[in-house]
Amino acid sequence: MLGIEKQHEWLKIQEIVEAFLYRKGVSRTQWQDLFYYVHNISCWTDHGGEDLRFRLHEELKKYVKACEKNIANSDEGRLLEAYIAEWINFSIVYTYLPMPFQSTENNTSQAGRPDVKTRSIVRAREPAIRKAALSLVENERNGEAIDGQLITGVQESYVALFEEDENPLDTYESFFEMNYIDQSANFYSQRAATVMSENGVQSYMNYAEARLSDEKQRCQRYLHYQTVPKLMKRLVEVLVVRFQEQLYAEFRTLIVNNHLDKMKQLFRLINQTDNGVSVLLDIIHDHIKSDGIKDMKESAKTIVTDAEKYVEKLRLRGRPSIPDDPRQGLPRSSE
């Protein structure tokens, strides 16, 4: 229990703490005074540090309740803005407010750290917050301009929403990452089939490659870096693996028609799957074998009567023609 004099100092502490919590502004002098008052009570009052920690905890509980109320009362159109504003301030509180109270504890590893459950700040509207963030992502996929900082802010808050005994990414992975990946896969599942059926394989290859690139960049902008390989693996399953048979069949046609650029594009897509490249190599092997046998059958008479001529034909196949006159095609000198 604080004496009358120390109670007066606590009221000064409380005034500064409330100004800090509720964004009323704290001057440099007030911030320095806060250190002084906390140190004075901790050092010169029996159980003063314990009493201050209890009082700070009560102030923080009231503050978190106010945050919850502000978020809960926000309409759908302003929900993310309200949440991000509260979260940014909460992060500042969690980072800086403990500093003056570090002298109240012997253990400096978590000295003065606000003892509040950080998840409670989003508890009232968590599903709606997540849904609103994912809706923004879908709007961007559909070509709308959005405020990407709102998505980034939600992601960062989920990463920070973990209890002391948890993996720091557990909450983020369970509540946000998993839903983001599922939504992304669902978004492209039906669209991919439509593009393939309406536009054919080669146009679909353009679509799949562009969408995979877009989604990788979007994930790098908005989500935790560890999400990128998980998302890409899932989207490759949706955009490439599902259509492997059509792609393999098209690869055979591209070989026959010698469409090298499209062959390279198809290889880039298949190369992102687990075993697709080996199938492409088998297709190439079969083509070489089949084409060689066909050519030998067509050239059977030449092979029997003049094998050297056939070997020379193979050697020259594919060699670019060379003009008889090496100077052909060069600019004429002016006379």
The answer to whether 228 and 208 are in contact (CB under 8 A) is: no
Residue 41: count other Cβ atoms within 10 Å of its Cβ. Answer: 24
Buried b (16+ CB within 10 A) or exposed e, 168-206: eeebbbebbbeebbebbeebbeeebeebbeeeebeebbe
Question: Which amino acid does the sequence have at 224?
Answer: H
Calpha distance 247→272 (Å, rounded): 13
Please give the model's pTM, rounded to 2 decimal places. Answer: 0.77
Tell me how far apart the 2 most distant CA atoms of the chain are, in Å.
120
Q: Give Cα 31 to chain centroid, integer Å.
A: 38
DSSP alpha helix (H) spans, the chain: 4-21, 28-44, 48-72, 79-96, 126-141, 148-160, 170-172, 178-199, 201-222, 227-239, 244-257, 260-270, 276-298, 300-305, 307-316
Which structure tokens are listed for 309? 């001529």
pLDDT tens, per residue, the chain with 335 residues: 566 668 889 999 999 999 999 999 999 999 999 999 999 898 888 888 889 989 998 999 899 889 888 888 888 889 999 999 988 898 898 889 989 988 766 544 444 455 555 566 666 688 899 999 999 999 999 999 999 999 999 999 888 876 655 787 888 998 899 999 999 999 999 899 999 999 999 999 999 999 999 999 999 999 999 999 999 999 999 999 999 999 999 999 998 888 989 999 999 999 999 888 899 999 888 877 776 566 555 555 554 565 566 456 555 554 444 334 434 444 444 44
Check: CB of residue 163 under 8 Å from CB of residue 210: no
DSSP type of residue 1: -
Tokens describing residue 113? 């750290």
- Give the chain's domains with CATH numbers: 1-104 (1.20.1310.10), 118-274 (1.20.1310.10)
